Structure 1
Amino acid sequence: MAVVNYRKADVNGFNIFYREAGAQGAPKLLLLHGFPSSSHMFRDLIPLLADRFHIIAPDLPGFGQSDMPARDKFAYTFDNIADVIDRFTDKVGFDCYAVYVFDYGAPTGFRLAVRHSEKITAIISQNGNAYEEGLSDGWNPIRAYWLEPSAANREALRAMLKPEATIWQYTHGVPDAGRVSPDGYGLDNFYLARPGADEVQLDLFGDYKSNVALYPAFQDYFRTHKPPFLAVWGKHDPFFLPPGAEAFKRDIPDAVVRFFDTGHFALETHAAEIAAAIRDFLPR
């Protein structure tokens, strides 16, 4: 059994919680989670890879066990989140690493790749989008807020923060919902219920438009550097559609794209299959 350590790093006064496993000298793998989760989403994947990789999985700022400072002390934008995680990788000695990105972890990780292409050895994207065709109609309420950031449009997005919405994200598109442990969405709902967490998430819904604006820059990075790329995708994802996964091959012809019969949180049902795909892919 892999030993997983639970630590915190002080990143210029910002405490970032992270999980760490594997030998220090092994190839490095950074795992970046998404909304509304935390590094807890990697609880099944980490033990399946720790014999081969030195793994670090942080909680993003404002998520999980990492600091969630007040909004007047820290602006919750994806640029700022990427800045903190960039400094975090320096703090933990990740100077050259493969990165696994999911959901919000994708615009975070892709920003790091654009800034530091020399540090990125490979990218694994699990339902982490970088193309307009990957965005489903499920984004329409958030798009409305981008176009008109009114109080009414912001208020309308609160439905996406309700406990039943989190459960739906975990179970939608899963052929057998009985395979989805309630631990994941139960923990996410606990974190979402913290005072102020709702406003943080609404800020990030609004700022997600900055990620779409950066899609051309991300795609230029893919075309220019052609990092080894593996897409592992829950094909029934209600937010990020399969064409978004296929689109990576347009800029990285050698990209490997794998689809799994599950939804957005593919690791909840297919951790073993995704781990096997990673183990097969990264040595190449």
Structure 2
Amino acid sequence: MNTSRTLAAAALSLALLGAGGAAPAFAAPAAPSANVASTASVSYRTVKVDGVNIFYREAGPKNAPTLLLLHGFPTSSQMFRNLIPQLADRYHVIAPDYPGYGQSDMPTMDKFTYSFDNMARVVEKFTEAVGVSRYALYVQDYGAPIGFRLAAAHPERVSAIVVQNGNAYEEGIANEFWQLPRAYWADKSEANGAKLRPLLELGGTKWQYTEGARDVQRISPDAWTVDQAYLDRPGNKDIQIEMFYSYGSNPGRYPEWQAYFRKHQPPMLIVWGKNDKIFPPAGAHPYLRDLPKAELHLLDTGHFALEEDSTAIAGYMRAFLGRTLKGGK
């Protein structure tokens, strides 16, 4: 199997499901330019968690409500580089890199368990190490199963949730894109793992950023270039294949997370790139079954919606969080 066949299968899946929903009927409130912090105000720090150096970006006043931003695959906290300055005047924003991603340490697989359970444990200990006991979550892609593990285990710590192309429902992984990962979950063979490896090459990485974008010329090539540089480190692709396998542990947790939504009714904002061929809008709508007060906006962009719509998303967040968050950490 080659990359083009993998991506063509993903494209077919969205065609079968439809683009899903109309664009929001009202425009996102813009983040006022007078309130947008400079990128120079972002600090780049490292903290040790169980002997592993965890890199994170931090901005904003520490006595303000905290936003914990959890990135997806195959990226790192750099996916939030445009969003953080648009929120840091009003919020304390922190965005870690998971082990094996971005600037965090990349322990070898014989010394670290690359699984979603373990990533959630690391992020939980990270929040404790940096002194954050309550936070609003922003979750995208891999960030969703990590963040939802945290929220279900410690609902008292979560003040609100922003979901951007992150799944918690079977409907969200019913498309053809997930056929190859499902085959690997069922049979962790070298042959099935090899079929997923084209997604770790430059063509697959660039596709994640450009497919579904309104205007590819507005997508910075720095994004996929930086991600690919991390993927190309010796041993990293084996780590990513292991994480692909571990993703199979997430669907079994969906009922638990949905029960958490129903019981605790966390305030939720859903901002979703509706042209995403990995997590199509079929995965966005079911949140409203369990959280009828959730706010849903479908954006005319793809998987990495922040690349094209960080200003719109920041505007939605500022309005939502302004209504929702009453106190500090």
TM-score exceeds 0.5: yes
1:262 corresponds to: 301
2:276 corresponds to: 237
The one of 154, 157, 162 equivalent to 2:193 is 154
2:21 corresponds to: none
Alignment-mate amino acid for residue 134 of structure 2: C
Q: 2:257 aligned with 1:189, yes or no?
A: no
Deviation at residue 50 of structure 1 after TM alignment = 0.3
Displacement over 2 Å in runs of 4+: none
**What's the C-alpha RMSD, in Å, of the aligned pairs?**
0.7
Alignment-mate amino acid for residue 22 of structure 1: G
Mapped to 2, the partners of 1:117 and 1:147 lie a distance apart of 32
Deviation at residue 134 of structure 1 after TM alignment = 1.0
1:13 corresponds to: 51
Q: 2:67 aligned with 1:67, yes or no?
A: no
Higher alpha-carbon Rg: 2
TM-score (norm 1): 0.99
**Secondary structure of 1:20's partner?**
strand
Contact 1:133 1:241 in 2 (8 A): no
Mapped to 2, the partners of 1:212 and 1:94 lie a distance apart of 29
Mapped to 2, the partners of 1:180 and 1:32 lie a distance apart of 21
**Secondary structure of 2:61's partner?**
coil
Deviation at residue 156 of structure 1 after TM alignment = 1.0
Count, aligned residues: 284
Deviation at residue 12 of structure 1 after TM alignment = 2.0
Mapped to 1, the partners of 2:220 and 2:207 lie a distance apart of 13
Contact 1:46 1:55 in 2 (8 A): yes
RCO comparison, higher one (Cα < 8 Å, 6+): 2
The one of 191, 198, 202 equivalent to 1:163 is 202
2:130 corresponds to: 92
Mapped to 2, the partners of 1:121 and 1:145 lie a distance apart of 36
Deviations 1:225-261 (A, max 9, x none): 0100011000000111112111101001100011100
The one of 60, 74, 77 equivalent to 2:115 is 77
User: Gapped runs of 5+ residues in structure 1?
Assistant: none
Alignment-mate amino acid for residue 129 of structure 2: K
1:272 corresponds to: 311
2:94 corresponds to: 56
User: Gapped runs of 5+ residues in structure 2?
Assistant: 1-36, 324-329
Deviations 1:19-60 (A, max 9, x none): 000001111000000000000000000000000100000001
1:144 corresponds to: 183
Mapped to 1, the partners of 2:216 and 2:179 lie a distance apart of 26
Q: How does 1:220-235 map to 2 (within 5 A)?
A: 220-235=259-274
Q: How does 1:100-179 map to 2 (within 5 A)?
A: 100-135=138-173, 136-179=175-218
Alignment-mate amino acid for residue 282 of structure 1: L
Deviation at residue 175 of structure 1 after TM alignment = 2.0
Deviations 1:140-166 (A, max 9, x none): 111110111111001111111010100
Q: Percent identity?
A: 56
